[in-house]
C-alpha cells in the first residue's frame, strides 16, 4: 500500500533517533539510591526509601505494586517532573537529579513521551493539533509539525481521523492520539501511568499491542505503571514496589501467574498478550 510508505520511513527515523539520542550508551535510565520524602518532621512521608534501577534502551517494563507503594512518585521522578530528596538519576547519560525546573523541562521535551490514564487531550482541538502541541513547545516550524503529526498518526493507525475532535473518537482511539502525541518529538522513552485504566478490555488489548509494536519495531523504551497483572504480562520485565522499595525485578513470563482456566469470573486478567 502506498499509504504505508511515510509511516515506514517514520518508523526507521524513530528507530535511528531512539538509538542515537543521549551519549550512545546502552543504558537509558540509571537510578541509584533514590529517596523521596514529602513534608518534614513528624509529617514526613518517606515515599521512596532507596531505589536503584537500571533500564537499557529498548526495554519494556511494567511497574507494579500496591497503592501507596511509591509507583507514582517514582514515575514522576523518572519523568523529570520532580526531583529526588537524595540519590542520583542519570537519563541518557545526563545527571538530572539536581537540574532546575527549566532544565528539567528541556530534558522532558527531548527524552520522554508521557501517556496518562485519562488521555489528557485538549477537548476542542483536533487529533492532528493535539499531536502538534509538543512540537509547538519544541519550536518546530508549522509545516514540519503538520507533516510529523500526520506521520505519527498514520503510525498509530489514525491517518483517517486527523480532523476528529477527542469527543468524536472512542477511548482506544483517544489513547492512540495521546500515544502519537507522546511520540511527536521522537523521544526514546514512553512513560505511561495506567494507560489502560479507562479502557474496556478490547481497547486495552489494542493499546498494549501498539506499545508492544513501538517497543519491538521502533526500539522505543516503554515503562508502564499498572496494577493489572494482565497488562503487566505484555512487558518483558516486571518491577514490583512495596513500601517505597523495589522488592522484585524479573522477566515477565516468570512474574505473570498462569491464567486461570475458568476465565475472568475466576479473577484471571482479561488483557493478556
Q: Which residues bind ligand ADP (CB under 6 A)?
A: 38-39, 45, 47, 65, 67-73
Across-strand partners of 222?
60, 190
Q: How far is the CB of 36 from ligand ADP (least distance, A)?
A: 8
Judged by beta carbon, residue 39 or residue 93, the one nearer ligand ADP is: 39
**Rounded Cα gap, residues 234 and 209, in angstroms:** 8
Distances (CA, A) of 9 to 3, 143, 151: 11, 18, 9
Judged by beta carbon, residue 52 or residue 109, the one nearer ligand ADP is: 52
Judged by beta carbon, residue 71 or residue 181, the one nearer ligand ADP is: 71
Q: How far is the CB of 82 from ligand ADP (least distance, A)?
A: 9
Judged by beta carbon, residue 49 or residue 272, the one nearer ligand ADP is: 49
Judged by beta carbon, residue 205 or residue 226, the one nearer ligand ADP is: 226
Q: Where are the beta strands (DSSP E) in 39-139?
A: 45-56, 60-64, 86-91, 94-95, 112-115
Q: How far is the CB of 238 from ligand ADP (least distance, A)?
A: 15
246: which DSSP letter?
E
DSSP H helical ranges for 112-200: 127-137, 142-155, 171-183
Judged by beta carbon, residue 162 or residue 245, the one nearer ligand ADP is: 245
The torsion angles phi and psi of 193, rounded to 5 degrees, stand at -105, 110
Q: How far is the CB of 266 from ligand ADP (least distance, A)?
A: 26
Angle between helix axes 142-155 and 127-137 (nearest 10 degrees) is 130
Residues 111/91, Cβ–Cβ less than 8 Å: yes
Cell numbers found for residue 153 = 498518526
Q: How far is the CB of 31 from ligand ADP (least distance, A)?
A: 15
Q: How far is the CB of 207 from ligand ADP (least distance, A)?
A: 20
Amino acid at each position: 500500500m502506498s499509504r504505508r510508505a511515510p509511516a515506514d520511513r517514520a518508523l526507521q527515523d524513530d528507530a535511528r533517533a531512539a538509538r542515537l539520542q543521549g551519549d550512545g550508551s546502552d543504558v537509558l535510565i540509571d537510578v541509584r539510591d533514590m529517596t523521596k520524602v514529602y513534608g518534614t518532621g513528624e509529617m514526613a512521608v518517606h515515599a521512596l526509601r532507596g531505589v536503584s534501577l537500571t533500564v537499557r534502551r529498548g526495554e519494556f517494563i511494567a511497574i507494579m505494586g500496591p497503592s501507596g507503594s511509591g509507583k507514582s512518585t517514582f514515575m514522576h521522578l523518572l519523568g523529570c517532573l520532580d526531583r529526588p530528596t537524595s540519590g542520583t538519576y542519570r537519563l541518557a547519560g545526563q545527571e538530572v537529579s539536581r537540574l532546575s525546573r527549566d532544565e528539567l523541562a528541556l530534558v522532558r521535551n527531548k527524552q520522554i513521551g508521557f501517556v496518562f490514564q485519562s488521555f489528557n487531550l485538549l477537548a476542542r482541538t483536533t487529533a492532528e493539533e493535539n499531536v502538534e502541541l509538543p512540537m509547538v513547545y519544541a519550536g518546530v516550524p508549522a509545516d514540519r509539525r503538520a507533516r510529523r503529526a500526520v506521520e505519527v498518526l498514520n503510525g498509530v493507525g489514525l491517518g483517517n481521523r486527523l480532523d476528529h475532535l477527542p469527543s468524536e473518537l472512542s477511548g482506544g482511539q483517544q489513547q492512540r492520539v495521546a500515544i502519537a502525541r507522546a511520540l511527536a518529538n521522537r523521544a526514546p522513552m514512553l512513560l505511561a501511568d495506567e494507560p489502560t485504566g479507562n479502557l474496556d478490555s478490547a481497547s486495552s488489548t489494542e493499546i498494549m499491542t501498539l506499545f508492544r509494536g513501538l517497543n519491538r519495531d521502533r526500539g522505543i523504551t516503554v515503562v508502564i505503571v499498572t496494577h493489572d497483572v494482565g497488562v503487566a504480562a505484555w512487558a518483558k520485565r516486571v518491577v514490583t514496589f512495596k513500601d517505597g522499595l523495589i522488592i522484585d525485578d524479573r522477566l515477565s513470563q516468570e512474574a505473570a501467574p498462569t491464567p486461570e482456566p475458568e476465565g475472568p469470573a475466576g479473577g484471571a486478567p482479561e488483557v493478556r498478550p
